[in-house]
Structure 1
Amino acid sequence: MVEPHSFTGQLTPDELIDIGKHFLKLAESIKETVNEQDHQHTISHTSEIIDQLLPRQKLILYDLRAHAYAMQGQPSTAINDAQQMITLSPALGAGYFRKASVFSMYGNQTQAIAAFEEGLQHASTDANDYTEQLITEKAAASNAKERRIDFMTLFPAEVIDDINARLPQDAKAVCLLISRLWREKILGCAAAWENLSISDNNNEIQILGVVPGYIGHFVRHLTIKTASENVTLICLRSMKKGYFSRIESLEISAITARGLAPYVGRLLIALSQMSKTLATLNLDLARNDGTSSPSILLTDILYACSNLKNLTYSTSSPLAELAGDFNTAEQHKTLINMQLKASSITRPDIEFMLQKCHKLRRFVINGCNPTVLDAVNSHSTNLEIFAYNANFTIPQLQDDTNLKETGLRQIYTHNDQDVPATHLLPLIYKNRTTLETVHARMSPITNEEELQSLYAAYPSFKLKRVTKLFFNGYTGIQKFMLQAIRNTTTVFDLSVASTHDVNELVEAILKLPPLQKFDLSLIDKSVDSSSFITLFERYGDISHSRPSLQYVSFRYCDVTDAELVALAGIKSLHEITLRGLDYVSANGISTLIQNLSSQLTSVQLIDMDVVDDSVLVALGDLKRMTYIELDLLQSITDQGIRRMVDKACFSTNTLTKLVVTECDQITSACIGYASQQIKVVVYSR
């Protein structure tokens, strides 16, 4: 029979090997005792493994991993492993020693000493030989604590300021408590307080306590997101007293705005005190509980903030209740950017406002009815960017002082909600010579007489400068919009949804200079999509001699492998997005990827059960791939992800980002494996 294993006091990798060897011997013995029905020795050997070998093995593994984490700059994770050691064997000094060693390594001698003392108090001197080390290292930590050097006294002031400016806000709050010198250095660093956020975090509330006399005049960007009425009042009081004398932007979150109703007057006074420098205000008054928003009128805000350039104002009430009387308001001379969101916005709500804010260059509104478009069309002299109920991020203004003519440059509508053409087309037509981006989802025009009346109402409708165009290919609308870009030389990005006539669309595209981006969505099998083969073959021929299509997206289109084959011939293609394609095969997608293996840099595969591990393996062979997104794919497995990652990182190592979302068979363990080889991995289920 196998002799019981004797343990040394120290945990070492060598002992891990010895334990493994002894484990194997016991396993052989257990096999024999089971066959011989020697129950007594079976119990003895299995008990030794369960009670002695496995716990000791875990201790050694935790100890080795804790050391590795500490050496890799992950002290908190190392401390967690050391604590696991203590939990496994509280009478053994090893866990306390490892815990204290990590604290000491990172300069926290106070906590190191506490961990050494904890070990001396709880560890049994008979069970291990760590006692002497605990005593020796505790003395060393005490000496290190006594002779520690404060770096605040060593480095030049500009280096200290640079360090302080980079600290997270929580860390700054802790630094304020370390010593008088640290407090003076932190409070005197202007760059450290340019961005200040006040929430219900105790450290941030503590910072608020030093605002009045020290850091208020350093703050340029202030965010208030507290549910505490007392904290909100302290902020308002500090504003009113002029402590934020250089503030440029202020954001008040919805959670703070809920308690503002009794203090609207104080807020407006506070805003007026900061009006000389305050250029950006974000006020979120929206409520999700069905109650009305605090009555902070738009007219009062603009009156108090006379130099405001950017205003974001959200409310869950109708705008009519909170707009105020713009008819009697003064002209606002500086506002150029406004975002409004309300439960209801109509033409009368904004008509006078647009007249009094005549310098507006960017106007984003949500919650509108179509009559708002009529007001914008009548009162938008300087408007450059306009978004109507858009459900995506709208670009910000660019500082372009060389614009020689006024007029809209960009117009956006909702991705999924149709807008009556009778309201939207007048605005587009008025700005037809300046528009560069048109995202226009309009209702279908099924009556030929109505379509002819549009041609009569908007003669010579040509979008001469448009570079990016989105429209829905409904009856009437598609023909009208294609006429608008006929003979244009500027369009490079075209998106079309729900086209009713593919032949008409392809014929128009073939008459344009080659597109760089092409996005098709919501084309069902009732529409003949074979014309796309002609288009892609033509683009393939062009790509051999000059720049051609670089990005293609098919979203919920009933295209087939035949279209993918034609697509594979385009030598300039770098990015593809395939989403919700029900009539393609895994082989068709793999073949497309393989044929483009030397040129693709980005691939997104979304909501397709046909995508399986064979497709992932093909992705792994791409030579220039930098970005892969896999979303709502139910047929891919961990094995496929691992093979893709192994091939991609072994052959080219260009893949820098992998996104895996809602793929049910993919486990967190597999994602952990991918994270070891790819710089950025995003995962959610």
Structure 2
Amino acid sequence: MSTTPFPVDSLDVNLLKSSLVNVSKANDKLDYWLAMDYASYAIDVIKRSYLLHVLENRAHAYCQTYQYDAAIRDAHEIVSIEPTSNTGHLILADIYTIQGKQKKAIKAYDAAMQNIRLLFSSSPPTSSDNNNPNQHSTAMQQLMKAKKWAIEQDMKRIDFVSILPPELSNSIFEKLDQNSKLTCLDVAKHWRDTTLMEFSTVWSTMAIHDDDYNYIYYEAVDVGEDYMTLEQRKKIELLPHIAAHIHQLIIDKDHRDVRSRYIENFNAGCMNNIRSLQIKSKIALQNIPALFLESLMMTGIPGLGDRLTELALHLEEITIDPDHVIGINEVLDTAPHLRRLVYHSVQLVLNINYDSTAPLPSIKDILDRNHYYKNTHPLVSLEIATQEPTTREVMKPILKRCSQLQYLRISNYHGDISELLESNSPYLEILIVDFDNPVSYDSPFLYNENANHMKRFQWKENMDVYGAKKNNTTSSLHRDHYGLKELYGPWDMMDDLEKPNYIPSLILNNLNTLEIIDIFDFPQVHRNHHVHHSPLRMIDLKKLSISFMNLHHPMARLFINSIPLFPALTTLNLEAGHDLRYVIDILLALQYPLQSLKFSLVTNDDHDNQDNRGINQNEHLIRLFQHYASLSSPSPDISDSSNLITQRTLKTLQLVDFAQILTDDVLYALSSIKTIDNITIETSSPHITTKGLYTMFQRLSGSLSHVELDGLGIIENKDIIAMGDILQSLTHIKLVQLSNITVYGVIALMEKAVQLKELVVIRSLYLREKEHDGLKQFARMKGIDYKANP
């Protein structure tokens, strides 16, 4: 863009000086009206004579340094000073042309031409005027020529999307996030109507969340819940056009217009292909969300017929009038073909009569379609979370009705659930009770065919369409080929507390099928109780986690004793209270190493267990690590094909040092295991030094990709920067309670770790919300997923 030379020579300093002196004198004489006139005159002189030239030259400088937004702001400032002048509009047009934004340049030219027309019509020129007709005509011709050139350039744009094969452009569009798709819809009406709207798979998921950004207030309403973002409004306006394509619908927004528009489309039969529906209602104003849900139950969901297979109702934060409570049996009646139900509420409500005393259907009844749909429900996955405790009496009729369950997750459950499941859930494979940690397969909805856990819930090949095993009896449906595979929960969910040696039926009857056991909260028992059972043999058990284990509980001890009889075991997590020497002796005796280990180091004042004291615990760990190091370094005399043991060696190690006893010697020993790629060190031990950490990282630099450091107050900025230099394979790092790191250290770490994909920072003294926001912006530019919890 061209600029007008700055008029330094014509700068009349004396004129400005005299004007300012006149302002001061008028104020001294208390003649304020005159002072205002002098001041206004001085400001007008400054603006029209000099500020315009300064802004024009600065806009030019901004463009030369690619700061186009700043240049545009200066151009708009020029327009505001002289709205009837063409100068500001022409500068805007030049900036947009440089950026290739021809449509905006055309608008700027139109605005300039409009100014000329208005100026010409408001003051007809004479031959003596500066604004004579020839000048107006010349300026108009120049603008029209520039506009024509911009139009020609705009027509030369290449539509790369139309050049691509439709299948490829569809695939690219599918991978965009939802807000990016909405942005694409504004590019061109023809492209939107003929191309984007025809991509049915692109719109298979529609979600409106409260955390959508760019908030604007909606129609200045006085109800706190009624605001919509630009993205949310676009989604609502788009709804009638894509309703038939939606397979998964997520409503996480308590806005009355959102609710009414969805109800309209449900009632009109437009959204008749929905397979997965999630509703999250967080605010209750005059029971509007409750009535919305009630309307869905009466008209929307029944209209979906057998297409709706997944339903999630998150009602835990909503206050509903008792007359509008949505009970779980009402949900099951309304959606008789559901396969997965998530029901979160204040309490578990049945509210529809169901004969819980009726016996389980026989095979003949199950094969009878009418009887099946009248007395049972084909649900295979159920998740229940309530604020008020859920009891055995409430769960029994639900389990009896949903006898085909394969997945059950319950939160806030009180009592023993073993007998209920044994008698009512013969197909159950996964049980999760009061378990807060995430479970890997409990994420995407079932209709997503790419989800790994989809295989879990497919009907078995030797079962008919209703889930009944052919040529067998109900009582033995799952004893040979079916049974519990994954068990998560507290011990008291299945324990007879009066019998400390009691093995729950959930374990005893599923020894041949259990693959994962994660048990916590073993109750306290007298230390004189001893295990009277033979070791348990579980041929398929891959993962054993025992949290907050009471050392003297006989069943906890039984699990440890049985480790040699778990041939498939690869993961062992012992959270607290275990006899470390005893456990390590068992691990050393195994013929194979484990792939993942988690140990908690605790102090123990029991004088009969002196080996649990600090230095001895370190010695036991060193023994184990030295043994595993030898396994990770195969002998050259053994061929790769025969050395199968090295294919199954330690890769993940977590050390949680509650006793604060870890030493550099332990770090050195574990760093000899060259196969470790994931390590967690949680300690405040005074025996750990930065030199010990450096040595460990250097020895593992070729394999270590995941690192978590927690509570290590000795770590400073220079240390995490050195980690980024040393660990060239580092992709994921989590820093927890490192009080001496700052923004500088975190940025330098992201610069040094060239392969870093995820960085998590939790509870750091010098990093607050403002600092984390800046770090997120920097991480986004580096392609790093940054997460923080101040």
What TM-score do the two structures reach when normalised by structure 1? 0.76
Question: What is the aligned counterpart of 2:760 among 655, 659, 681?
Answer: 659
User: Per the alignment, do residues 562 and 655 of structure 1 end up closer, same or farther by CA in structure 2, a change over 3 Å counting?
Assistant: same
Cα offset for 1:273? 1.4
User: Distance between the aligned counterparts of 2:183 and 2:704, measured in 1?
Assistant: 48
Asked whether 1:112 is paired with 2:105, we answer: yes
User: Distance between the aligned counterparts of 2:411 and 2:749, measured in 1?
Assistant: 43
Cα offset for 1:114? 3.6
SS of residue matched to 1:312 = strand
| Structure 1 residue identity aligned to 2:304 | M
SS of residue matched to 1:313 = strand
User: Per the alignment, do residues 162 and 590 of structure 1 end up closer, same or farther by CA in structure 2, a change over 3 Å counting?
Assistant: closer
Cα offset for 1:349? 1.2
Question: What is the aligned counterpart of 1:504 among 564, 582, 587?
Answer: 582
Task: Report what 2:415 is aligned to.
Answer: 370
> Deviation string for 1:38-91 (max 9, x for gaps)?
xxxxxxxxxxxxx99999997566434546xxxxxxxxxx53663367559976
The range that moved more, 358-367 or 516-525, is 516-525
Task: Report what 1:280 is aligned to.
Answer: 310
Tell me if the contact between 2:96 and 2:102 (Cα under 8 Å) persists in the aligned partners: yes
Asked whether 1:634 is paired with 2:661, we answer: no
> Deviation string for 1:137-166 (max 9, x for gaps)?
545335556888989988876677667656
User: Distance between the aligned counterparts of 2:186 and 2:76, measured in 1?
Assistant: 33
Asked whether 1:599 is paired with 2:703, we answer: yes
Asked whether 1:268 is paired with 2:297, we answer: yes
Question: What is the aligned counterpart of 2:664 among 561, 568, 571?
Answer: 561
Asked whether 1:616 is paired with 2:720, we answer: yes
User: Per the alignment, do residues 500 and 96 of structure 1 end up closer, same or farther by CA in structure 2, a change over 3 Å counting?
Assistant: farther
Task: Report what 2:193 is aligned to.
Answer: 183
SS of residue matched to 1:296 = coil
Task: Report what 1:625 is aligned to.
Answer: 730
Question: What is the aligned counterpart of 1:345 among 386, 390, 393?
Answer: 390
User: Distance between the aligned counterparts of 2:410 and 2:314, measured in 1?
Assistant: 14
| Structure 2 residue identity aligned to 1:593 | F
Cα offset for 1:533? 1.6
The range that moved more, 146-155 or 589-598, is 146-155
Superposed, 1:433-444 pairs within 5 Å as: 433-444=512-523
Question: What is the aligned counterpart of 2:248 among 198, 218, 221?
Answer: 221
User: Distance between the aligned counterparts of 1:218 and 1:672, measured in 2?
Assistant: 35
Asked whether 1:481 is paired with 2:563, we answer: no
Cα offset for 1:610? 1.7
Asked whether 1:254 is paired with 2:281, we answer: yes
Tell me if the contact between 1:350 and 1:372 (Cα under 8 Å) persists in the aligned partners: no
Tell me if the contact between 2:535 and 2:561 (Cα under 8 Å) persists in the aligned partners: no
User: Per the alignment, do residues 101 and 250 of structure 1 end up closer, same or farther by CA in structure 2, a change over 3 Å counting?
Assistant: farther
| Structure 1 residue identity aligned to 2:413 | C
User: Per the alignment, do residues 481 and 172 of structure 1 end up closer, same or farther by CA in structure 2, a change over 3 Å counting?
Assistant: same
SS of residue matched to 1:274 = helix
The range that moved more, 83-92 or 475-484, is 83-92
User: Per the alignment, do residues 509 and 98 of structure 1 end up closer, same or farther by CA in structure 2, a change over 3 Å counting?
Assistant: farther
User: Distance between the aligned counterparts of 1:63 and 1:89, measured in 2?
Assistant: 18
Question: What is the aligned counterpart of 1:463 among 538, 541, 562?
Answer: 538
User: Per the alignment, do residues 491 and 349 of structure 1 end up closer, same or farther by CA in structure 2, a change over 3 Å counting?
Assistant: same
| Structure 2 residue identity aligned to 1:482 | I
Task: Report what 1:682 is aligned to.
Answer: 786
The structure that has the greater radius of gyration is: 2
Asked whether 1:383 is paired with 2:428, we answer: yes
Superposed, 1:45-444 pairs within 5 Å as: 62-66=62-66, 78-79=68-69, 82-83=72-73, 86=76, 100=93, 103=96, 109-115=102-108, 137-144=146-153, 172=182, 175=185, 179=189, 182-183=192-193, 185-198=195-208, 200-201=228-229, 204=232, 208=236, 214-255=241-282, 259-263=288-292, 265-269=294-298, 270-287=300-317, 294-317=324-347, 319-320=348-349, 325=354, 327=356, 330-343=374-387, 344-394=389-439, 395-396=441-442, 397-399=453-455, 401=460, 405-413=481-489, 421-422=495-496, 425-444=504-523
Cα offset for 1:413? 2.4
User: Distance between the aligned counterparts of 1:144 and 1:193, measured in 2?
Assistant: 34
Cα offset for 1:173? 8.2
The range that moved more, 572-581 or 398-407, is 398-407
Tell me if the contact between 1:346 and 1:371 (Cα under 8 Å) persists in the aligned partners: no
User: Per the alignment, do residues 309 and 672 of structure 1 end up closer, same or farther by CA in structure 2, a change over 3 Å counting?
Assistant: closer
SS of residue matched to 1:630 = strand
Task: Report what 2:632 is aligned to.
Answer: 543
> Deviation string for 1:271-307 (max 9, x for gaps)?
1111221111111111167987951111121122121
Question: What is the aligned counterpart of 1:491 among 558, 561, 569?
Answer: 569
SS of residue matched to 1:371 = coil
Cα offset for 1:445? 3.8
> Deviation string for 1:88-128 (max 9, x for gaps)?
99769998667545655777544333445678999xx9xxx
User: Per the alignment, do residues 59 and 89 of structure 1 end up closer, same or farther by CA in structure 2, a change over 3 Å counting?
Assistant: farther
User: Per the alignment, do residues 114 and 264 of structure 1 end up closer, same or farther by CA in structure 2, a change over 3 Å counting?
Assistant: closer
CA RMSD, aligned part only? 4.4
Asked whether 1:576 is paired with 2:603, we answer: no
Q: Which structure 1 segments of 5+ residues have no match?
A: 1-6, 12-50, 68-77
Tell me if the contact between 1:62 and 1:84 (Cα under 8 Å) persists in the aligned partners: no
Cα offset for 1:587? 2.3
Cα offset for 1:493? 0.8
SS of residue matched to 1:399 = helix
Tell me if the contact between 2:207 and 2:249 (Cα under 8 Å) persists in the aligned partners: yes
Identity %: 20
| Structure 1 residue identity aligned to 2:483 | G
User: Distance between the aligned counterparts of 2:162 and 2:541, measured in 1?
Assistant: 60
SS of residue matched to 2:288 = coil
> Deviation string for 1:411-450 (max 9, x for gaps)?
1127xx9867447944223322211111111324431454
SS of residue matched to 1:82 = helix
SS of residue matched to 1:578 = strand
The range that moved more, 487-496 or 176-185, is 176-185
Equivalent residues, number: 613
User: Distance between the aligned counterparts of 2:778 and 2:159, measured in 1?
Assistant: 41
Cα offset for 1:612? 2.0
User: Distance between the aligned counterparts of 2:173 and 2:564, measured in 1?
Assistant: 58
User: Per the alignment, do residues 486 and 262 of structure 1 end up closer, same or farther by CA in structure 2, a change over 3 Å counting?
Assistant: same
User: Distance between the aligned counterparts of 1:166 and 1:88, measured in 2?
Assistant: 43
User: Distance between the aligned counterparts of 2:109 and 2:255, measured in 1?
Assistant: 41
Cα offset for 1:506? 1.3
User: Distance between the aligned counterparts of 1:160 and 1:514, measured in 2?
Assistant: 48
User: Per the alignment, do residues 209 and 683 of structure 1 end up closer, same or farther by CA in structure 2, a change over 3 Å counting?
Assistant: closer
Tell me if the contact between 2:538 and 2:565 (Cα under 8 Å) persists in the aligned partners: no
User: Per the alignment, do residues 112 and 555 of structure 1 end up closer, same or farther by CA in structure 2, a change over 3 Å counting?
Assistant: farther
Task: Report what 2:15 is aligned to.
Answer: none
Tell me if the contact between 1:658 and 1:678 (Cα under 8 Å) persists in the aligned partners: no
